[in-house]
């Protein structure tokens, strides 16, 4: 006998292996319509977290659905080298072993890094397999493998030759822990509480005259080279031509007048540190001020600071406050909220710093990507992200792509004296150098390659092209590109999505994907973003162990509207697990039936299967539009309700033979067919349980697997039978309610009568419907009656009145009150309908069908009121 509970552990790995053995995930170009997705590559040494689970479940659903529809489905997996994050991990690992990065050569370090990658790389891909991801593993790519590395270098050179790449000395975002520059998009700003220090500077040549500035970063005072005030500020007009003494360092600096200074803020007097603030830098340039860089790359104070040299910037801050305090320079200290930028990867406070870096001239790449998105050539789901995209693209800033790291693609630029030579290889660069300098004696040793590597996103923006080896050959690209859909979180819309669209047009002259489906962020119940540092993220694999992959997939999806945040709750996975179990037990029930070849199919069973077929077709229609609009959670819920409510709770109960009897084989076959179709439509969402049940339903030939079965074609929908069954369900529920209210056991059979009306006989005479009611409500006899005998218990369903005999005292007062209540509501409702119909403008303007419906409501309402009034009369 099959066990009582569905056990995911026993089936999941078995079926995954089976699918792999059959090579179902692998795709090669053929005559079929392609359906392709490239995975957002997770960090190569990362582990699966909730965001990945959501994201990849959705991709798998879309891929599996496409496969069932007979398309050539190709889902390309891979990983990202994640230069900053991975390098930081390797550095930390080395430090623990007592090795300092600074003591290693570049090659030695890279050896360690590759070792680390070999050890931890790809774990995440194995975890995706546990989730059921049907990726084409033969295509697994890595942003730093040979093919992808080459593509990056080629693209860099190409951009440089086209004049879309340049090198410049600017104020950048510096991460003192990773010791690299960051792009604007890699800095996250958050309001943080800090102190605003009011510090007074003595005016030069006076005994006791001061100006007071306000700063949140007092340690930068050591790099001050001016104090600025607004030229319109009368408070400071007398300072024209004066100088002040910077405290601690006793440097004499000018007072400059600049409109930039906000008179309202603080004291209206601003200290200027050109080396450590972007605005100060601009002012410094304008007024020709000295630039004193007081910070080292690692965030400690440099020699130029003169004091606290070698101390960390935050330690130095504490020290200088104490010293200034003692010297009487601190006027006051205020609490202050302000925006602090932190590194996305290391979370340390970013320092503005001057340095020479490589940039992409984005202005030249904006078109035609912006238009493509605005005109839905690349369609966003949900649409609201078009705005966000438009704003960013329209105010685009150049992209800083160099990073002071080793783990990544080394910038293919070589320097000789003042010359910069960009080429794919050192030899080519040498050729260029010889040509430009006219010096034929130059050797490779004379050239010095750029020490930096490229931003990781500079390789991932090529992903939809590079995974198909698109920079070498267009064989596969022609077939799979543009890909069908990109599924990713909205948090990387700028970092990744926008740039991929730009690179797609730049190198393929074509969009990289037709659709972009933005998922929400997974948050915990307190709405906090799930993160490792908060420790609020459940262990993905443990969840799979507890609820099964199908259960977890259900949980991830059942409440995740596109672009909206998903508040993760284990309860949802539990619901998914229970759903698997429900399906499992539906199977057990069917398997427990004994069959009879020669039993005639009962009327109730014929009605039941006609009804269910129509319901199934109805749902198939709904699913089509759900999928088209990427309403995946709605699709899943719709399927769940079809299976749980319609199929298990009603259909199976309808056809279940009485104890000791057998099921007719015609109904059995129908039931197996329905069940199989249900498994196919659920398969994309919950692949394992559906495959298992699919095979237990009936003998299947080799290769007849659920994963490659075909998505059912819809059929006609019999509205009449759906309506009649709905009515029957209502009657059954009402009888069950009467039983519950009167404390009658469901086992006690009752008679049921319908009061004669225009339509009542039709109802009693429909053998299918009446036998279903008889069976499900445990009715002895269903008859039509001209009158309602005294003392019977009545209820209303639609516009029909029913009654039964319950051997129990009726509480007349309570009954009356209930009917009066209902009457009141029905009358109010009727008045509304009447008013509507009396309104000429309604009758004239509303569509005929709507008016017709209102008329029906009027007729039905009147009938109901009449029946209710009668019932009230009877109670007297």
From the number of C-beta atoms within 10 Å of its C-beta (0-12, 13-18, 19+), residue 408 rates as: buried
Q: Which is nearer to RNA, 278 or 431 (CB)?
A: 278
Are 206 and 399 in contact, with CB atoms under 8 Å apart?
A: no
Residues 423-462 that bind RNA (CB under 7 A): none
Contacts of residue 16, defined as CB under 8 A and 6 or more positions apart, other chains included, come to 129, 132, 688
Binding residue (CB under 7 A) for RNA from 581, 596, 665, 718 = 581
Estimate the crossing angle of helix 385-394 against helix 366-374, to 10 degrees: 160
Give the x/- contact pattern for RNA in 394-413, rule: CB under 7 A: -x------------------
Q: For the CB of residue 654, give the shortest distance to RNA in the complex, in Å.
A: 10
314 binds RNA (CB under 7 A): no
Residues 462-491 that bind RNA (CB under 7 A): 491
Q: Which is nearer to RNA, 508 or 581 (CB)?
A: 581
257 binds RNA (CB under 7 A): no
Are 253 and 332 in contact, with CB atoms under 8 Å apart?
A: no
686 binds RNA (CB under 7 A): no
The token pair that represents 138 in the structure block: 């033969």
The token pair that represents 868 in the structure block: 């209710």
Q: Which is nearer to RNA, 377 or 388 (CB)?
A: 388
662 binds RNA (CB under 7 A): no
Q: For the CB of residue 18, give the shortest distance to RNA in the complex, in Å.
A: 21
Q: Which is nearer to RNA, 125 or 721 (CB)?
A: 721
Binding residue (CB under 7 A) for RNA from 846, 872, 874, 875 = 846
Residues 781-810 that bind RNA (CB under 7 A): 798-799
Q: Which is nearer to RNA, 816 or 836 (CB)?
A: 836
Contacts of residue 729, defined as CB under 8 A and 6 or more positions apart, other chains included, come to 650
Contacts of residue 632, defined as CB under 8 A and 6 or more positions apart, other chains included, come to 58, 61, 557, 560, 626, 685
Binding residue (CB under 7 A) for RNA from 148, 217, 329, 683 = 217
Binding residue (CB under 7 A) for RNA from 268, 464, 470, 687 = 268
Distance CA 382, CA 384 (A): 6
Give the x/- contact pattern for RNA in 497-536, rule: CB under 7 A: ------------------------------x---------
Distance CA 318, CA 304 (A): 19
Count of CB atoms situated within 10 Å of the CB of 241: 7
Q: Own/partner pairs for 99-102, CB < 8 Å, 24+ apart?
A: none
Q: What is the CA radius of gyration of the chain?
A: 37
Q: What are the Cα distances from residue 44, in Å, to 52, 79, 94, 712?
A: 13, 5, 18, 39
Residues 2-31 that bind RNA (CB under 7 A): 4-6
Give the x/- contact pattern for RNA in 288-307, rule: CB under 7 A: --------------------
DSSP line for 516-532: EEEE--EE-TT-PBP-T
117 binds RNA (CB under 7 A): no
Q: Which is nearer to RNA, 262 or 367 (CB)?
A: 262
Residues 719-758 that bind RNA (CB under 7 A): 732-733, 736-737, 740-741, 746
Q: For the CB of residue 461, give the shortest distance to RNA in the complex, in Å.
A: 17
Are 345 and 270 in contact, with CB atoms under 8 Å apart?
A: no
Q: Which is nearer to RNA, 749 or 850 (CB)?
A: 850
Nearest to 196, CA basis, from 338, 20, 310 = 338
Q: For the CB of residue 89, give the shortest distance to RNA in the complex, in Å.
A: 24
Distance CA 460, CA 496 (A): 7
Nearest to 494, CA basis, from 385, 411, 377 = 385
Nearest to 513, CA basis, from 29, 73, 25, 38 = 38
Binding residue (CB under 7 A) for RNA from 287, 588, 700, 756 = 588
Binding residue (CB under 7 A) for RNA from 101, 167, 656, 700 = 656
Distance CA 119, CA 126 (A): 13
The token pair that represents 650 in the structure block: 């009603």
Q: For the CB of residue 99, give the shortest distance to RNA in the complex, in Å.
A: 36
> What dihedral angle (degrees, nearest 10) is formed by the CA atoms of 685, 690, 694, 700?
70
215 binds RNA (CB under 7 A): yes
Binding residue (CB under 7 A) for RNA from 10, 111, 168, 262 = 262
Distance CA 742, CA 762 (A): 30
Residues 272-291 that bind RNA (CB under 7 A): 278-279
Q: Which is nearer to RNA, 151 or 682 (CB)?
A: 682
Q: For the CB of residue 427, give the shortest distance to RNA in the complex, in Å.
A: 40
Give the x/- contact pattern for RNA in 805-834, rule: CB under 7 A: ------------------------x--x--
Binding residue (CB under 7 A) for RNA from 193, 207, 445, 659 = 659
Q: Which is nearer to RNA, 427 or 869 (CB)?
A: 869
Q: Which is nearer to RNA, 160 or 688 (CB)?
A: 688
From the number of C-beta atoms within 10 Å of its C-beta (0-12, 13-18, 19+), residue 578 rates as: middle
Q: How many residues bind RNA (CB under 7 A)?
A: 96
Select the span of 100-108, 259-267, 468-476, 866-874 touching RNA (CB under 7 A). 259-267
Distance CA 262, CA 271 (A): 12
Any idea what DSSP says for residue 747?
T
Q: Which is nearer to RNA, 204 or 860 (CB)?
A: 860
Q: Which is nearer to RNA, 76 or 620 (CB)?
A: 620
Are 583 and 694 in contact, with CB atoms under 8 Å apart?
A: no
Are 262 and 230 in contact, with CB atoms under 8 Å apart?
A: yes
Select the span of 72-80, 118-126, 142-150, 856-864 touching RNA (CB under 7 A). 856-864
Select the span of 26-34, 66-74, 651-659, 693-701 touching RNA (CB under 7 A). 651-659
Q: For the CB of residue 417, give the shortest distance to RNA in the complex, in Å.
A: 35
Helix (H) or strand (E) holding 198: strand 187-203
Sign of the CA dihedral running 378, 381, 387, 392: negative
Are 134 and 691 in contact, with CB atoms under 8 Å apart?
A: no
Residues 49-108 that bind RNA (CB under 7 A): none
Q: What are the Cα distances from residue 418, in Å, to 160, 162, 433, 447, 453?
A: 17, 21, 11, 11, 21
Binding residue (CB under 7 A) for RNA from 171, 453, 501, 580 = 580
Residues 338-397 that bind RNA (CB under 7 A): 338-339, 341, 384, 387-388, 391-392, 395
């Amino acid at each position: 006998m099959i066990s009582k509970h569905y056990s995911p552990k026993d089936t999941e790995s078995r079926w995954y292996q089976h699918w792999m053995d059959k090579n179902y995930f692998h795709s090669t170009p053929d005559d079929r319509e392609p359906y392709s997705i490239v995975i957002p590559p997770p960090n190569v040494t990362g582990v699966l977290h909730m965001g990945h689970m959501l994201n990849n479940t959705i991709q798998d659903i879309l891929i599996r659905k496409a496969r069932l529809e007979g398309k050539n489905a190709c889902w390309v997996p891979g990983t990202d080298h994640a230069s900053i994050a991975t390098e930081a991990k390797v550095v930390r690992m080395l430090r623990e072993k007592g090795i300092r990065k600074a003591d290693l050569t570049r090659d030695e370090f890279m050896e360690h890094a590759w070792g680390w990658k070999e050890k931890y790389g790809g774990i995440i891909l194995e975890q995706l397999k546990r989730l059921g991801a049907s990726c084409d593993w033969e295509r697994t790519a890595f942003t730093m493998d040979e093919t992808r590395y080459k593509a990056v270098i080629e693209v860099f050179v190409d951009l440089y030759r086209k004049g879309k790449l340049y090198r410049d000395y600017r104020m950048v975002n510096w991460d003192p822990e990773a010791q690299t520059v960051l792009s604007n998009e890699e800095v996250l700003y958050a309001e943080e509480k800090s102190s605003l220090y009011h510090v007074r500077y003595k005016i030069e040549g006076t005994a006791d005259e001061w100006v007071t500035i306000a700063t949140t970063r007092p340690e930068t005072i050591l790099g001050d080279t001016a104090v600025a005030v607004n030229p319109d500020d009368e408070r400071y007009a007398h300072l024209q031509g004066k100088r002040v003494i910077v405290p601690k360092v006793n440097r004499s600096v000018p007072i400059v007048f600049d409109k930039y200074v906000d008179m309202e803020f603080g004291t209206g007097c601003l200290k200027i540190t050109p080396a450590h603030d972007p605005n100060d830098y601009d002012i410094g340039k304008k007024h020709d001020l000295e630039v004193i860089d007081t910070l080292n790359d690692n965030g400690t104070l440099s020699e130029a600071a003169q004091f606290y040299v070698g101390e960390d910037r935050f330690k130095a801050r504490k020290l200088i406050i104490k010293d200034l305090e003692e010297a009487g320079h601190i006027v006051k200290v205020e609490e202050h909220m302000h925006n602090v930028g932190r590194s996305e990867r290391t979370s340390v406070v970013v320092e503005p710093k001057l340095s020479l870096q490589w940039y992409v001239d984005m202005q030249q790449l904006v078109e035609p990507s912006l238009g493509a998105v605005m005109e839905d050539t690349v369609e966003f789901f949900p649409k609201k992200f078009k705005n966000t995209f438009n704003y960013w693209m329209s105010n685009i800033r150049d992209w800083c792509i160099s990073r002071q790291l080793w783990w990544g693609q080394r910038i293919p630029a070589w320097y000789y004296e003042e010359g910069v030579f960009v080429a794919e290889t050192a030899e080519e660069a040498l050729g260029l150098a010889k040509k430009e300098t006219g010096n034929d004696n130059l050797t490779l040793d004379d050239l010095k390659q750029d020490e930096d590597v490229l931003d990781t996103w500079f390789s991932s923006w090529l992903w939809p092209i590079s995974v198909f080896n698109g920079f070498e050959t267009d064989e596969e690209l022609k077939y799979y590109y543009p890909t069908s859909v990109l599924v990713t979180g909205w948090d990387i819309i700028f970092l990744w999505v926008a740039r991929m669209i730009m690179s797609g047009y730049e190198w393929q002259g074509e969009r990289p994907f037709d659709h972009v489906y933005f998922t929400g962020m997974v948050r915990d119940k307190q709405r906090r973003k799930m993160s490792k540092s908060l420790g609020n993220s459940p262990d993905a694999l443990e969840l799979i162990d507890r609820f099964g992959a199908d259960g977890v997939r259900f949980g991830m999806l059942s409440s995740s509207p596109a672009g909206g945040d998903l508040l993760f709750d284990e309860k949802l996975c539990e619901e998914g697990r229970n759903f698997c179990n429900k399906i499992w037990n539906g199977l057990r029930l069917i398997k427990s039936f004994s069959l009879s070849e020669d039993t005639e199919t009962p009327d109730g069973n014929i009605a039941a299967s006609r009804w269910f077929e129509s319901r199934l077709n109805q749902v198939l229609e709904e699913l089509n539009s759900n999928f088209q609009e990427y309403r995946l959670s709605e699709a899943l819920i719709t399927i769940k309700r079809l299976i749980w409510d319609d199929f298990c709770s009603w259909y199976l109960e309808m056809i279940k033979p009485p104890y000791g009897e057998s099921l007719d084989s015609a109904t059995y076959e129908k039931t197996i067919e329905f069940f199989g179709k249900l498994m196919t439509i659920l398969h994309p969402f919950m692949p394992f349980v559906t495959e298992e049940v699919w095979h237990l339903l009936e003998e299947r030939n080799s290769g007849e697997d659920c994963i490659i079965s075909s998505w059912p074609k819809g059929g006609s929908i019999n509205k009449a039978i759906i309506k009649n069954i709905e009515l029957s369900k209502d009657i059954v529920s009402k009888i069950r309610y009467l039983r519950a209210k009167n404390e009658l056991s469901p086992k006690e059979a009752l008679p049921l009568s319908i009061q004669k009306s225009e339509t009542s006989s039709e109802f009693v005479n429909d053998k299918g419907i009446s036998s279903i009611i008889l069976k499900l409500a445990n009715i002895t006899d269903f008859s039509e009656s001209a009158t309602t005998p005294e003392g019977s218990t009545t209820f209303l369903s639609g516009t029909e009145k029913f009654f039964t005999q319950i051997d129990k005292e009726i509480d007349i007062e309570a009954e009356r009150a209930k009917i009066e209540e209902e009457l009141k509501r029905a009358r109010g409702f009727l008045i509304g309908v009447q008013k509507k119909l009396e309104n000429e403008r309604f009758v004239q303007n509303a569509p005929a069908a709507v008016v017709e419906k209102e008329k029906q409501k009027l007729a039905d309402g009147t009938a109901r009121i009449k029946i209710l009034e009668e019932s009230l009369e009877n109670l007297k």
